[in-house]
Amino acid sequence: NYQNDERLNSKAEDVFHLKAGETNKLSPEEFVDYYMQLTGKISGTNQKRIFSVLQSSGKEIGFVYPATRSRFKYFALSGGLTAFLVRLYLAKKDLPYAFVDDFIKYLETDYGIYIRKCSKTEKLVSKYKIRVTQQEFSRNEQALLETLDQVNCLIRLSDSGYIVTLPEKKGEFKLL
Whether 103 shows a pLDDT value over 70: the answer reads yes
- Residue 71: pLDDT band with limits 50, 70, 90: low
What's the rounded mean pLDDT across residues 58-82?
65
Residue 10 is predicted with a pLDDT of 72
Residue 117 is predicted with a pLDDT of 86
d(CA 94, CA 159) in angstroms, rounded, equals 27
> Is 46 within 8 Å of 39 (Cβ atoms)?
yes
b/e map 111-138, b = 16+ CB within 10 Å: eeebbbbeeebeebeeeeeeeeeeeebe
Q: Return left, alpha or beta for 120; rule: phi > 0 is left, psi -120 to 50 is alpha, else beta.
A: alpha
Helices H / strands E in the chain, number of each? 7, 5
108-132 tens-digit pLDDT: 999 888 888 888 888 877 877 777 7
26-40, 53-67, 140-154 — which is least confidently predicted? 53-67
What's the mean per-residue pLDDT of the chain?
A: 76
- Residue 151: pLDDT band with limits 50, 70, 90: very high
In the chain, pLDDT over 70 holds for what percent of residues?
65
> Is 145 within 8 Å of 154 (Cβ atoms)?
yes
Whether 46 shows a pLDDT value over 50: the answer reads no
d(CA 123, CA 135) in angstroms, rounded, equals 18
9-18, 28-37, 54-63, 152-161 — which is least confidently predicted? 54-63
Residue 96 half-sphere exposure, CB side, CA atoms within 13 Å?
7
3-state secondary structure of 156: strand
Residue 1 is predicted with a pLDDT of 43
Instruction: Count CB atoms within 10 A of the CB of residue 144.
Output: 22
- Residue 42: pLDDT band with limits 50, 70, 90: very low
Q: Which of 75, 65, 80 is nearest to 151 (CA)?
A: 80
Whether 59 shows a pLDDT value over 50: the answer reads yes
